[in-house]
Structure 1
Amino acid sequence: MASRTSELPSHAPNGTDIPRVISVTSGKGGVGKTNISVNLAYCLSRMGRKVVLLDADLGLANVDILLGLTPKMNLFHLFHEGVDLRQVLMETPFGFSILPASSGVSEMLALSTGQKLDLLEAMDHLEGRINYLLVDTGAGINDNVIYFNLAARERLLVLTTEPTSLTDAYALIKVMHLHHDVHRFRVLVNMAPSLKAAKAVYEKLSTACDHFLSGISLDFTGAVPSDPAVKNAVIRQKPFCHLTPEAPASKKLQELAQTIDSWEVDAKLDGNIKFFWKKLLFQEQPLA
């Protein structure tokens, strides 16, 4: 499908100039983080919200693949060829827009301070024009993952009931907390065999944080059940909430979107920054 430049309104539909910026992140790959991001963007847009989904897995991007799209430009062109953000911004057939990244491009694996500044300045185009910027980060604790998680106002941490997912989720929390003074995370358990199993893994994570880390706040945001409709949607390259809105996983994503839309916006945050805090550009902190 050909890329289309997304035309955004001059002001956000709810009249506010402060959109909500939420990172969807994980300590481990393979937990369905990008699928959650895509379907959350879809559900929020169905609620009448103006949504942009930023693919922040800069070197291994796949948001466009899950949507069956072939962008003509991506963030590589923004950073290395000086194109305008509006040329990268792509409207999807599902009611929201994406900022696609590149795949298999080593130059995108670590953003320089200058590139972070370029992104900050480029984001000025979106100020006051959207309700949500969802940031689909990469997995793990590399520099880009940490940067985008620090830039977001809210962090939705996706994990599964697998022990490795739990361990890696804790590692991400530890790094963010000890080295970057981040205290709060929203936790979503994906591909859960049951609500009981999802709450059990959340309790394990919470207990570990209480025991080894001081001052961490973990909010259980919910559980998305294991659902064959999800795999079918991936094969067909469409959001599962679009293909099968009555499927169990779809209903949970719809509930999640409503929950997120009810979150209070922290009025103490600097509204002049909007998306990415400039101080982050000049704080090169070690990750370990």
Structure 2
Amino acid sequence: MTVQVIAVTGGKGGVGKTNVAINCAVALAQRGKRVAILDADFGLANVDVLLSLPVRRNIEQVLDGECSIEEVMLSGPAGVRIIPASSGTRRLTRLNELEQAGLIRAFSTLASQLDVLIVDTAAGIADSVLTFANASQELLLVLCNEPSSLTDGYALIKLLNRDFGRQRFRVLANMVADDREGRQLLAKLASVCEQFLSVNLLYSGAIPFDVQLREAVKKQRSVLDYAPSAPASRAFRQLAEEIERWPVPRQAGGHMEFFVESLLMPVPASSGGAQ
């Protein structure tokens, strides 16, 4: 079996990135995919909070050899599994050789159990965000219709392109009126990128502003579970269909081994804060 690794990132906070990661995972699971979410926001881990799931162990205890990665995982809606982060730690990006080997081994055991791993990165353009984004096979950049979202989205693309040579970026418009507004957002971002960068921006759809999605957040549930017929739920199902058309890695284990090994490579010294 092959594993597809998708990083969901936003360049800034407040664009709804974690909600996108959760509902995207649920939509894929409802289509029969075996899905896990890695909460890679080590400053403010909140996938578990948004789904009202009690966390007893996290990935740090896997590194300490106290438990397996399977024992850490939480069970979410539609059978989605969540690998919770340890808030307030940067440890995953500063591991010794023994811990690195343990992490590779832990994730390698997951390869046979998953079809898709969704990585919910932190906000911003810190080294840890760049590391997770670059290690993932696909990068889904979440934009909303605010100047700061476009500015920070561009900064993230620029860093990943300049320091890692990444050229393909998938863009999802969130909290927009309709698909037309979503495509206009992509066009704005593309016009800036075309002037200074050689990158390929691919439109992955739009999630409409939806009161029922906000209600689902308050209830600590995915909108697909809370209001299956809501406009946002329909949009997430369309996104899941779109993702199923993305190319899947052919090698055994898919992208999982490359993902973990890439996490452990040092980030180029010039990255992390350039505008």
- TM-score, shorter chain, exceeding 0.5: yes
2:235 is aligned to: 252
Q: 1:43 to 1:273 in 2, by over 3 A?
A: closer
Higher relative contact order (CA 8 A, sep 6+): 2
The correspondence of residues 1-288 of structure 1 with structure 2, limited to 5 A, is 16=1, 18-80=2-64, 82-103=66-87, 105=88, 107-108=89-90, 111-114=93-96, 115=99, 117-214=101-198, 216-267=199-250, 271=254, 274-276=257-259, 278=261, 281-286=264-269, 287=271, 288=274
Alpha-carbon RMSD: 2.0
Give how far 1:129 is off: 1.6
Give how far 1:278 is off: 2.4
1:36 and 1:239 map into 2 onto residues whose CA distance is 10
Give how far 1:47 is off: 0.7
Q: Return 165-174 or 255-264, whichever deviates more.
A: 255-264
Q: Is the 8 A contact 1:120 1:276 kept in 2?
A: no
Q: Any runs of at least 4 consecutive aligned residues in structure 1 with deviations exceeding 4 A, and if so which?
A: 268-273
SS at match of 1:264: coil
Name the amino acid aligned to 1:112: R
1:112 and 1:232 map into 2 onto residues whose CA distance is 38
Structure with more of its chain in helix, by fraction: 2
Give how far 1:282 is off: 3.4
1:116 and 1:248 map into 2 onto residues whose CA distance is 43
Name the amino acid aligned to 1:238: R
SS at match of 2:206: strand
1:220 and 1:186 map into 2 onto residues whose CA distance is 6
Q: Is the 8 A contact 2:135 2:260 kept in 1?
A: yes
Aligned residues with identical type, % of pairs: 40
Give how far 1:269 is off: 9.7
Give how far 1:125 is off: 1.2
Give how far 1:246 is off: 0.7
Q: 1:52 to 1:277 in 2, by over 3 A?
A: closer
Q: 1:70 to 1:190 in 2, by over 3 A?
A: same
Give how far 1:108 is off: 3.0
Q: Is the 8 A contact 2:12 2:152 kept in 1?
A: yes
1:177 and 1:59 map into 2 onto residues whose CA distance is 25
Q: 1:116 to 1:178 in 2, by over 3 A?
A: farther
Q: Return 76-85 or 178-187, whichever deviates more.
A: 76-85
Q: 1:117 to 1:213 in 2, by over 3 A?
A: farther
Count of matched residue pairs: 269
Q: 1:252 to 1:93 in 2, by over 3 A?
A: closer
Name the amino acid aligned to 2:207: V
Q: 1:223 to 1:244 in 2, by over 3 A?
A: same
2:86 and 2:261 map into 1 onto residues whose CA distance is 24
Unaligned runs of 5+ in 1: 1-15
Q: Is the 8 A contact 1:152 1:276 kept in 2?
A: yes
Scaled by the length of structure 1, the TM-score of the pair is 0.87
